[in-house]
């Protein structure tokens, strides 16, 4: 009887026939609570694409592909629930799972004409992980399982290729030793290298059947030595359960745990295990294996894209040790490759794959990343999933799919992570800049970035932690490098293709990456990067351009990218849908201009103290803060007034009638005080006082906790002349803009850090007096509204009272978070990462609003404020105003607007639209 391998190799459709006979084995999509093993084979499956949580993404999609009749080797999926049970019950499976697996194995055997462990027609299987969301490369896989000293002989006979059979067996032993038995992979790699050296063999390809046979013996000895004489298991069932257990266990390995943390994947989801009949891409020159994307994952172009290797197994493609072939002739020509494309080498499989891809894409209505194997000219599909893509590709694909009628505008918006827009707005290299190109590699993930060259991932993390930017250069990356990649601004590898680990992970992270820069050689020990006669040392600045693949010595100027028509359309759809207005936090005319360019509908926060951070303005500010008396302060304020007025005029003109919220001065004073002897001497001279006297005064102003000190409205109460000067600058600027014929401006004056209505009341009276003075001086009555920044818990609780005097509220959630948690904004980094690592908090509350605490305070404030004043306008201007998850909460609370930094305005526009969609949940969703 022919082996499973043989049946499939001869006729892909043979499986279908066999499966039909086995129809009674399939309970189709009836989900049985006690069922833990779901079978699939071409034409029928017990699962479907909607069962990702239970079957994992891979298992659910394998089932779905079978349901739509695509050529998938038969197999079965052990559910994610078993993974959880396995961990909780001392690494044992629930009762009955063993029987279910045995029955499923028998079914696969019937479908392939083989039997697991059978000497003459052995069924060989792969055992792979598959989490509910894709975690590429994070967990373990075992191929060629079912081989032992007997079955390998049968494989050799059936394939008439002893070399192939022994190579498969040694690969299996090696993988099993590493993944299941937990032995160091290097033991096997070193043994192989040693063997090659001894026999003068350069490449794996030079080893003959006899050599692999000897390697098998060496590997088996290695295993026995490492395990106190316990040998490599010959019992195929022991092999299988060892592999299933290892895959479950790999859910908990450190790299998978890091990946989950970085991607917010819950710990308790678990992985499924997929056991599937093997097909071989390494069965000779008419076999191949590769990955095919239904669209180009870098650009989003609609073209069959990907790469493959002839006579290879999947792991060879990922390892990136051999340069892959292109799929199409046009891609081959464009990359000037001399390796024939799939289109010319395997024309029939290519045509079939193209048709399959089209079906998959219209079925899933999303770009797919398909793993395929060709075994002796027969095409097999091993996986499909939504393809990872760059931000520009995500945008193009979403917009194109709307135009193609595949998805709705709402779905398109839900397909694009707001955060990813950041990458579309990232700088690219200035084409006019001089570049000393060290080497060029594959343009694996776009974006241009500079940083210090590092080779080591721990070091990348350390330097990043110290606030430095680094470029991580590795020969190739592996999942162990994830923390270093995360810390780096950009990644370079000297080996590997567009689908290598580095390329895939960097794209997912949105980081620039240049992969496979073969012209570079890495000297890890010497800390050097060598390209011909050029050397770059560790710590030197390197610039990389992930769009062109260039690696450049030194820092290179960058430019902000053009906004594409697709981007404009996405923003228009978002604007049509969202309810929340989006404003920007802008402190200077330049910020205001950027804010408008990004589509801000006003300024939600102008931090007036930031207008004085310039070198030439700081002295006036210092003079004001350090003035010994009111008179001195008034003198300093007179110098500040024209500066403020000038800035406001410019900002009002730029904003052309849009609302502008100006916050009265709120400087933690220490930020402005002179530091060090030289600065003190300089300031003393400018102020005409003795340095000693000034030093004493600075000491008197010292605060134990400036963030809880003399700032915000407290300054306006102790020194009302400051608030009066600012109000005058605002009113005079508004009058001046009106006089020049500009759009009428109604400035919103915002009082920071108020806790009590009485504080507001006091400042309000001063401002009203200034308005009256300006009216009598100019003959024009300044129009303005007055509001409060809600950033203290007391203000939230007393919002009903405060709203009597305030026409608007703006949540200052940076301070509100600080005050609610009692955690200093400036010192939180010392311990909050531990909180996250120990799962005490899900997110840094300074990045994403703490829904349960701070969110609750906001709800209370909004409700009480609006109970007093029905039309109270409410916004948010803390950093959270640009964070998508926080924007969702703002929508839920019913705020009127969010305000964030200008670059985040597009992110906020999209996030606000998505918040509406999520609320209504009325999209015709597709999982
Ligand atoms: C805030 O506290 O959220 C805020 C916007 O003000 P600042 O960061 O200036 O204190
Ligand atoms: Mg604040």
Query: Which atom of ligand 1 is nearest the CA belonging to 818?
Result: 2
CA of 104 to the centre of ligand 2 (A): 62
Pick 370 or 847 by higher pLDDT.
370
The reported pLDDT for the residue numbered 205 is 83
Structure tokens at 794: 């007391």
Say yes or no: CB of residue 877 within 6 Å of ligand 1.
yes
Pick 253 or 77 by higher pLDDT.
77
Say yes or no: CB of residue 899 within 6 Å of ligand 1.
no
Q: What is the mean pLDDT of residues 509-537?
A: 88
pLDDT score of 578 more than 60: yes
CA of 879 to the centre of ligand 1 (A): 8
pLDDT score of 845 more than 60: yes
**DSSP one-letter string for 89-121:** TTS-PPTTHHHHHHHHHHHHHHHHT-EET-SSS
* % of the chain at pLDDT higher than 90: 66
CA of 195 to the centre of ligand 2 (A): 67
Q: What is the pLDDT of residues 701-729, one digit of tens each?
A: 888 888 899 999 999 999 999 999 999 99
Query: Which atom of ligand 1 is nearest the CA belonging to 607?
Result: 9
As a whole number of angstroms, the distance between CA 397 and CA 521 comes to 36
Element (H, E) at 521: strand 521-523
CA of 608 to the centre of ligand 2 (A): 12
505, 484 in Cβ contact below 8 A? no
- Identify which of 583, 820, 878 to mutate to test ligand 1's pocket (most ligand atoms within 8 A of the CB): 878
CA of 811 to the centre of ligand 2 (A): 9
Ligand 1 atom 1 nearest Cα? 812
The reported pLDDT for the residue numbered 12 is 29
Ligand 1 atom 5 nearest Cα? 878
The reported pLDDT for the residue numbered 15 is 29
Element (H, E) at 370: strand 368-375
CA of 732 to the centre of ligand 2 (A): 26
Q: What is the mean pLDDT of residues 814-833?
A: 85
Ligand 1 atom 6 nearest Cα? 812
Say yes or no: CB of residue 589 within 6 Å of ligand 1.
no
CA of 111 to the centre of ligand 1 (A): 66
- Identify which of 877, 897, 899 to mutate to test ligand 1's pocket (most ligand atoms within 8 A of the CB): 877
Say yes or no: CB of residue 47 within 6 Å of ligand 1.
no
Say yes or no: CB of residue 607 within 6 Å of ligand 1.
yes
CA of 666 to the centre of ligand 2 (A): 8
CA of 662 to the centre of ligand 1 (A): 13
Ligand nearest to the CA of 879: 1
Report the SS3 class of residue 371: strand
Strand order from edge to edge, sheet including 513-515 = 436-440, 550-553, 541-545, 448-454, 470-474, 490-493, 513-515, 442-445
Query: Which atom of ligand 1 is nearest the CA belonging to 811?
Result: 3
The reported pLDDT for the residue numbered 479 is 63
Say yes or no: CB of residue 609 within 6 Å of ligand 1.
no
125, 75 in Cβ contact below 8 A? yes
Q: What is the mean pLDDT of residues 465-473?
A: 93
Ligand nearest to the CA of 817: 1
Longest Cα separation, the chain:
105
Ligand 1 atom 9 nearest Cα? 607
Residue 558's Cβ-side half-sphere holds a number of Cα atoms within 13 Å equal to 18
Identify the residue whose tokens are 């945008």. 395
The reported pLDDT for the residue numbered 509 is 67
The reported pLDDT for the residue numbered 19 is 31
Q: Binning pLDDT at 50, 70 and 90, where does residue 424 land?
A: confident
Report H helices in 482-546. 482-487, 501-509
**DSSP one-letter string for 840-886:** S-SS-TTTS--TTTHHHHHHHHHHHHHHH-TT-EEEE-SGGGG-HHH
Ligand nearest to the CA of 753: 2
The reported pLDDT for the residue numbered 703 is 85
Say yes or no: CB of residue 311 within 6 Å of ligand 1.
no
Query: Which atom of ligand 1 is nearest the CA belonging to 666?
Result: 9
Query: Which atom of ligand 1 is nearest the CA belonging to 812?
Result: 3
Q: Pick from 157, 145, 176, 144: which is nearest to 373 by CA? A: 144
- Identify which of 707, 712, 796, 812 to mutate to test ligand 1's pocket (most ligand atoms within 8 A of the CB): 812
Query: Which atom of ligand 1 is nearest the CA belonging to 813?
Result: 3
As a whole number of angstroms, the distance between CA 341 and CA 347 comes to 9
Say yes or no: CB of residue 791 within 6 Å of ligand 1.
yes
Q: Binning pLDDT at 50, 70 and 90, where does residue 145 land?
A: very high
Say yes or no: CB of residue 825 within 6 Å of ligand 1.
no
CA of 563 to the centre of ligand 1 (A): 30
Say yes or no: CB of residue 476 within 6 Å of ligand 1.
no
- Identify which of 669, 709, 714, 752 to mutate to test ligand 1's pocket (most ligand atoms within 8 A of the CB): 752
As a whole number of angstroms, the distance between CA 55 and CA 61 comes to 9
Say yes or no: CB of residue 400 within 6 Å of ligand 1.
no
Q: What is the pLDDT of residues 113-133, one digit of tens each?
A: 999 999 999 999 999 999 998
Q: What is the mean pLDDT of residues 304-332?
A: 85
Say yes or no: CB of residue 814 within 6 Å of ligand 1.
yes
Determine if residue 398 is left, alpha or beta; phi over 0 gives left, psi from -120 to 50 gives alpha, anything else beta.
alpha
CA of 634 to the centre of ligand 1 (A): 27
Ligand 1 atom 8 nearest Cα? 814
The reported pLDDT for the residue numbered 1 is 26
* % of the chain at pLDDT higher than 70: 93
Say yes or no: CB of residue 850 within 6 Å of ligand 1.
no
Q: What is the pLDDT of residues 357-401, one digit of tens each?
A: 999 999 999 999 999 999 999 999 999 999 988 888 999 999 999
Residue 12's Cβ-side half-sphere holds a number of Cα atoms within 13 Å equal to 20
Q: Binning pLDDT at 50, 70 and 90, where does residue 769 land?
A: very high
What are the DSSP E strand ranges found in 533-663? 534-537, 541-545, 550-553, 558-559, 581-585, 603-607, 660-663
Residues 6+ apart with CB under 8 A from 737: 649, 652, 653, 743, 745
The reported pLDDT for the residue numbered 508 is 57
- Identify which of 815, 848, 850, 890 to mutate to test ligand 1's pocket (most ligand atoms within 8 A of the CB): 815
The reported pLDDT for the residue numbered 684 is 86
As a whole number of angstroms, the distance between CA 138 and CA 257 comes to 9
The reported pLDDT for the residue numbered 318 is 65
Say yes or no: CB of residue 876 within 6 Å of ligand 1.
no
- Identify which of 608, 609, 666 to mutate to test ligand 1's pocket (most ligand atoms within 8 A of the CB): 666
pLDDT score of 81 more than 50: yes
Ligand 1 atom 4 nearest Cα? 812
Structure tokens at 500: 């290598």
Pick 679 or 365 by higher pLDDT.
365
Q: What is the pLDDT of residues 216-255, one digit of tens each?
A: 999 999 999 999 999 999 999 999 999 999 999 999 888 8
CA of 924 to the centre of ligand 1 (A): 39
Query: Which atom of ligand 1 is nearest the CA belonging to 752?
Result: 6
Query: Which atom of ligand 1 is nearest the CA belonging to 605?
Result: 5
Within the chain, how many helices (H) and strands (E) appear?
A: 37, 34
Query: Which atom of ligand 1 is nearest the CA belonging to 815?
Result: 2
As a whole number of angstroms, the distance between CA 322 and CA 316 comes to 7
Beta-bridge mates of residue 289: 309, 373
Ligand nearest to the CA of 607: 1
Most confident of 453-457, 476-480, 502-506: 453-457
Structure tokens at 223: 């295993």
Structure tokens at 535: 């050397």
How deeply is 182 buried, as exposed, middle or buried, from its count of CB atoms within 10 A (0-12, 13-18, 19+)? Answer: exposed
Active site residue ranges: 501, 877
177, 219 in Cβ contact below 8 A? yes
Say yes or no: CB of residue 882 within 6 Å of ligand 1.
no
Q: Binning pLDDT at 50, 70 and 90, where does residue 13 land?
A: very low
Say yes or no: CB of residue 314 within 6 Å of ligand 1.
no
pLDDT score of 8 more than 70: no
Strand order from edge to edge, sheet including 368-375 = 325-326, 305-310, 288-293, 368-375, 378-386
CA of 424 to the centre of ligand 1 (A): 27
Ligand nearest to the CA of 605: 1
């Amino acid at each position: 009887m022919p082996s499973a391998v043989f049946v499939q190799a001869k006729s892909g459709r043979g499986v279908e026939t066999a499966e039909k006979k086995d129809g009674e084995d399939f309970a189709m999509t009836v989900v049985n609570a006690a069922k833990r093993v779901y079978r699939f084979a071409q034409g029928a499956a017990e699962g479907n694409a909607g069962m990702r949580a239970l079957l994992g993404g891979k298992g659910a999609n394998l089932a779905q592909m079978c349901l739509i009749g695509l050529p998938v080797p038969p197999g079965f999926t052990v559910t994610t629930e078993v993974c959880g049970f396995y961990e909780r019950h001392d690494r044992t499976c629930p009762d009955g799972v063993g029987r279910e697996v045995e029955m499923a194995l028998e079914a696969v055997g019937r479908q392939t004409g083989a039997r697991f462990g059978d000497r003459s027609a052995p069924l060989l299987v792969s055992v792979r992980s598959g989490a509910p969301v894709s975690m590429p490369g994070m967990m373990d896989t075992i191929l060629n399982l079912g081989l032992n000293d007997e079955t390998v002989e049968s494989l050799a006979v059936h394939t008439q290729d002893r070399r192939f059979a022994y190579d498969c067996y040694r690969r299996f032993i090696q993988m099993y030793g590493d993944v299941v038995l937990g032995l160091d992979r290097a033991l096997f790699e070193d043994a192989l290298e040693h063997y090659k050296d001894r026999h003068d063999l350069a490449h794996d390809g030079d080893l003959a059947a006899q050599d692999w046979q000897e390697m098998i013996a060496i590997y088996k000895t290695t295993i026995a030595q490492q395990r106190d004489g316990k040998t490599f298991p010959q019992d195929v069932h022991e092999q299988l359960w060892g592999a299933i257990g290892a895959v479950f266990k790999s859910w908990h390995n450190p790299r998978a745990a890091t990946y989950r943390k970085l991607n917010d994947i819950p710990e308790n989801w678990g992985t499924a295990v997929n056991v599937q009949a093997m097909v071989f891409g390494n069965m000779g020159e008419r076999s191949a294996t590769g990955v095919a994307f239904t669209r180009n994952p870098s650009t989003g172009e609609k073209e069959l894209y990907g790469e493959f290797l002839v006579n290879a197994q999947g792991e060879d493609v990922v390892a990136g040790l051999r340069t892959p072939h292109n799929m199409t002739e046009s891609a081959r020509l464009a990359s000037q490759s001399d390796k024939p494309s799939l289109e010319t080498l395997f024309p029939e499989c290519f045509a079939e794959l193209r048709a399959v891809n089209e079906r998959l894409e219209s079925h899933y209505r999303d770009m797919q990343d398909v793993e395929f194997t060709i075994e002796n000219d027969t095409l097999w599909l091993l996986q499909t999933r939504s393809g990872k893509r760059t931000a520009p590709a995500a945008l193009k694909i979403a917009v194109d799919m709307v135009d193609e009628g595949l998805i709705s505008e709402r779905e398109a918006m839900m397909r694009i992570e707001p955060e990813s827009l950041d990458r579309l707005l990232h700088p690219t290299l200035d084409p006019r800049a001089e570049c000393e190109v060290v080497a060029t590699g594959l343009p694996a993930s776009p974006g241009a970035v500079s940083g210090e060259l590092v080779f080591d991932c721990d070091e990348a993390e350390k330097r990043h932690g110290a606030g430095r930017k680094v470029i991580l250069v590795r020969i190739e990356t592996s999942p162990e490098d994830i923390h270093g990649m995360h810390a780096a601004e950009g990644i370079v590898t000297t080996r590997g293709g567009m689908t290598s680990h580095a390329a895939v992970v960097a794209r997912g992270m949105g980081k620039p990456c240049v992969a496979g820069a073969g012209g570079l050689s890495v000297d890890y020990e010497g800390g050097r990067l060598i390209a011909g006669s050029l050397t770059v040392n560790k710590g030197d600045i390197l610039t990389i351009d992930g769009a062109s693949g260039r690696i450049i010595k030194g820092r290179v100027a960058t430019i902000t990218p053009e906004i594409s028509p697709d981007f404009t359309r996405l923003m228009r759809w978002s604007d049509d849908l969202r309810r929340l207005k989006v404003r920007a936090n802008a402190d200077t005319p330049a910020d205001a201009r950027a804010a408008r360019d990004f589509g801000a509908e006003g300024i939600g926060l102008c931090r007036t103290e930031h207008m004085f951070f310039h070198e030439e303005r700081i002295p006036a500010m210092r003079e004001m803060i350090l003035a010994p008396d009111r008179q001195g302060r008034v003198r300093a304020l007179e110098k500040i007034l024209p500066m403020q007025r000038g800035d406001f005029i410019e900002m009002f003109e730029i904003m052309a009638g849009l609302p502008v919220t100006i916050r009265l001065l709120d400087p933690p004073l220490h930020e402005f005080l002179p530091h060090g002897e030289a600065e003190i001497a300089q300031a003393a001279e400018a102020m005409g006082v003795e340095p000693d006297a000034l030093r004493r005064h600075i000491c008197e102003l010292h605060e134990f906790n400036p963030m809880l000190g003399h700032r915000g409205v407290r300054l306006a109460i102790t020194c009302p002349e400051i608030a009066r000067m600012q109000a005058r600058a605002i009113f005079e600027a508004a009058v001046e803009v009106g006089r020049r014929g500009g759009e009428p401006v109604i400035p919103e004056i915002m009082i920071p850090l108020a806790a009590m209505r009485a504080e507001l009341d006091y400042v309000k009276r001063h401002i009203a007096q200034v308005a009256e003075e300006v009216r009598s001086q100019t003959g024009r009555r300044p129009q303005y509204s007055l509001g409060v920044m809600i950033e203290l818990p007391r203000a939230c609780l007393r919002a009903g009272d405060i709203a009597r005097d305030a026409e608007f509220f703006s949540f200052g959630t940076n301070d509100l978070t600080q005050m609610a948690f009692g955690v200093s904004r400036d010192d939180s980094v010392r311990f909050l990462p531990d909180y996250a690592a120990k799962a005490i908090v899900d997110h840094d509350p300074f990045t994403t609003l703490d829904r349960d605490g701070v969110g609750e305070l906001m709800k209370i404030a909004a409700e009480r404020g609006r109970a007093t004043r029905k039309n109270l306008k409410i916004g948010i201007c803390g950093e959270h105003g640009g964070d998508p998850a926080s924007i969702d909460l703002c929508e839920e609370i019913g705020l009127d607007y969010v305000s964030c930094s200008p670059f985040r305005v597009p992110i906020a526009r999209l996030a606000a639209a998505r918040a509406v969609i999520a609320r209504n949940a009325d999209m015709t969703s597709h999982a």
